[in-house]
Chain A
Amino acid sequence: MSTRNRELLNLGFAAIVASAAFASVSIVDTGLVTARWLGYVGVIFGLYLIAHLVARFTVPYADPTLLPLVGLLTALGLTVIYRLGPDDARRQAVWIALGIGLFAATLFWLRFDYRVLERFKYIFGVSAVVLLLLPSLPKIGHRVNGVNLWIKVGPLQFQPGELAKIFLIIFLAGYLRDKRESLARGRLKDLGPLLVIWGAAMLVLVQTSDLGSALLNFGIFLAMVYAATGRLVYVGVGLTLFLAGSAALYSTLGRVQQRVTVWLHPWTDQKVYCSINGKLDFRQNCDSYQLVKSLYSIANGGYGGTGLGKGTFKTVDGTQLIPYLNTDFIYSAVAQELGLIGAAAVLLLFMVFVARGMRIALIAQDGFSKLLATGLTFGLALQTFIIVGGVLRVVPLTGITLPFVSYGGSSILSNFLMLALLMLISNRAAATAVNR
């Protein structure tokens, strides 16, 4: 069977699973067994069919599992978002459509050779830093929940950090391919650019007070440096610098400080200072409210979950229990309704994606492609770890999205861009192998 036919088959499997999820939510929602949900499934499956046809035309040899995996993750995310608020789901569906549009456009544009990107690596590098700093600029910057992550131009809101991440990976892939020989030899003067990047990361951290995105970008950077040079000393120095920098800034970054306190001691037996209203209260009723309520939500799922559409996310008077449930905390909704089995299955989907992505990096022929695939794949894994780990109290909680699952336009668009790049790399690697 050809690669693309396998992709179509996989998409069919994904559609069956997604249909079951849609049907379940629809039945719980209306109390009736109707075929209304078939319409929704049809629209989403149609979109992915278009993506598949574009891939058939542009990247015939590309990995056949990535697109179905993404299809399943977005459909699952959409189901949970619909269950939490149908209006958001409609918007999310539009974003998925736009994301597939971006995916198709990228494939068309770069179908002959994506390696032209390498030529513009410095433009990507500078753009990444600018994009990261944009939200902290006056006028267009928009502060949400104490973190500068958004820009607002007229009615449009955008989270440029998501795009910046991809630009940064493209830059690093190009730059490290250039310098990996000299870096591997460990010449001190080549450390300069690394220090510049570290400085930029610190600057971004101070400007946005967003530990999550700083950690994500710096982690991707370190992973790529290691992949390029094979020298652990860079990772060690980098981590030390990052930790030292964060520690030095710790006392001035109230937000970060609070997040760490909440992480270490979410529950208190005595009333403590509450930074939200300035009064004394138990921390679980105040600063760590979100985290604690989310843990209750996850725990409520148990092994099998409450079932899609049957979880408890509101109090009896209809107020939302967990703020930002369909973005940062979507995992705790998934974990409650699908239980350990379902949540682990979602994480396994991510693991399959990561395995396929890393395989692409392994079979790619040139250094740029290898580093690009490594960076993109590791970025996905690390981002998943930071947000889900934050929700699970493995690491301090920072607000970033769960790729392909969370509600949010910027996130969906940039993740489809990532998917397009991985498929381009994969296509080229497989095509070379076939032609040889």
Chain B
Amino acid sequence: MNRQITQVAGLAMGLLIALIVATTYWQTWARPALAERQDNAIQRVAQFKIKRGLILSPSRVLARNREKQVGGQTFYFRRYPQGKLAAHVVGYSTAARARTGLERSLNPILTGSARSLTSLVDQALDKLNGKPIVGDTVVTTLDLNGQRTALGALGSACGAVVALDPRSGKVLVMASSPSYNPNDVERNYGKIERIKADCTPASPLLNRASQGLYPPGSTFKVITASAALQSGKFTPTSTFVDPGYCTVYGKRVNNFDTGRPFGSLSLATALQYSVNSVFCNIGLDLGARRILKQAKAFGFYERPPLETPESERLPSGLYKGGRLYDPRRDRDVDPGRMAFGQERLLVTPLQMAMVAGTIGNDGILMRPFVVSKTVTPNGKTRSRTRPTKIRRAVSPATARDIAAMMVRAVQAGTGTAAQIPGLEIGGKTGTAETGVAGNNTTWFIAFAGEPGQKPKLAIAVVLQNQSLTGGATAAPIARQVMQALLTPTANP
């Protein structure tokens, strides 16, 4: 019988060895894939044992931790003391839902998992001593006074404001309306779902500043004008005759204000008063691809670089069937309509602020950033963001010429509502009509600074569902935000 017993013993051993093999499989090979799974609650819980780094504005705490003891373990839950003020940039980190905003994209920094080897050793020692892992603090560039002004000025409208320092790319304001209170995400999500605004759906979680795509309207003329000057075919004094309309493919395209043809006028005057027919003819002359090439130099067709999650930043450009579309031949798109901002062009406010900033910064596009530095738990600066040039988008001469035209538009053109005494402001309005009354998308993009100096500020304001023009709706909001950011008394 012993032979059989040996065989049964072999089988029994084989069964147990199979278990060791299976355990090895799950704990080594399958481990990373399982850790990635959305329904893996253990991973989510583990994140809450980490004391996340703070998120700060230069003057205030935007995200901090609240300790809570559950079943003998310490968990760190997030609180957002500024509520809806910086909700879209900061985002949220909760147990019930995934993370968004900087909480998501900077998770490795905030949880301390992106560290060097020496600090990882310290971290392992802390773990042995039972101390929680403490993440790095993130300092943002957001100006809370500007955020507050922007959200207040937007009111119940759906829209966004982006303001940045064009000399460095530092983002000062990134406000999206309607906003939400990130403290409600964990326990009171219904409250967020019930938020109402002047558009349906109100989509409060959407960061319209970088995730919202809107037709640029006449703000795109800044790009067409840049392409025109860069081409060498046109100068600011090139003269055009405006019949009040322009003919593309045999069809008449009217000016915004059809009742008043300008007759003979210069390119500079055309931008000042936003005359469609002039830009239409420039577009026909230059062709679509030349204009798009100029747009790409300003950053179109790529996700604007920023520290927020990639999925929360969309590229600007021509869209076809919900997808970015880059025509291979000139005749694939209508260059005349495109030249003044129609023809399926969709842009984000962040991109348009970059365009205004580039003009203000002598034609150099700076890389936008919203995180100025990260700081270790014991107060040392771990990394600091240095202003980076992306590229020269237009020549200094072109930039100066366009800037002068935009200044004229604010002094005595479509953008007079943005004037602030003592400051030199150059702007461009935009009104994209959808054909339905009260359904316009309105814009104002601008740069501002002290007269004779380089502009300190670039801004883009977009509003959905408006019945008036950009000059009447968006320009006053831009003025309020610029005032808050540039007037020292309003900026304690």
Contacts and interface: CB of A to CB of B under 8 A. Distances in A.
B23 A381 contact: no
B16 A385 contact: yes
B12 A378 contact: yes
A295 B37 CA distance: 12
A398 interface: no
B235 to A, nearest CB: 60
Interface residues of B, number: 48
Interface in B39-97: 39-46, 48, 68, 70-73, 75, 77, 95
A354 B16 CA distance: 10
A384 B19 contact: yes
Contacts of A350: 16
Interface stretch (A7-15, A133-141, A298-306): A298-306
A335 B22 contact: no
Contact of A355 (B1, B9, B44): B9
Given A299-B30, A381-B15, A344 B42 contact: no
B39 A300 contact: no
Contacts of A389: 15, 18-19, 22
Interface stretch (A68-76, A105-113, A224-232, A254-262): A224-232
A300 B11 CA distance: 30
A50 B3 CA distance: 37
A340 B18 contact: no
B28 interface: yes
A315 B95 CA distance: 9
B27 interface: yes
A342 to B, nearest CB: 10
Contacts of A351: 13, 16-17
Contacts of B130: 28, 31
A284 interface: yes
B116 interface: no
B200 interface: no
A273 B19 CA distance: 31
Given A315-B95, A358-B5, A378-B8, A302 B23 contact: no
Contact of A296 (B2, B24, B40): B40
B34 A299 contact: yes
A344 B77 CA distance: 36
Contact of B72 (A29, A316, A384): A29
Given A292-B39, A385-B15, A367 B45 contact: no
A299 B35 contact: yes
A113 to B, nearest CB: 20
B41 A315 contact: yes
Given A299-B26, A302-B28, A340-B23, 11 more contacts: A298-B27, A303-B27, A316-B95, A339-B27, A344-B23, A347-B20, A351-B13, A374-B8, A392-B19, A392-B22, A392-B23
Interface of B: 1-9, 11-13, 15-20, 22-28, 30-31, 34-35, 37, 39-46, 48, 68, 70-73, 75, 77, 95, 130
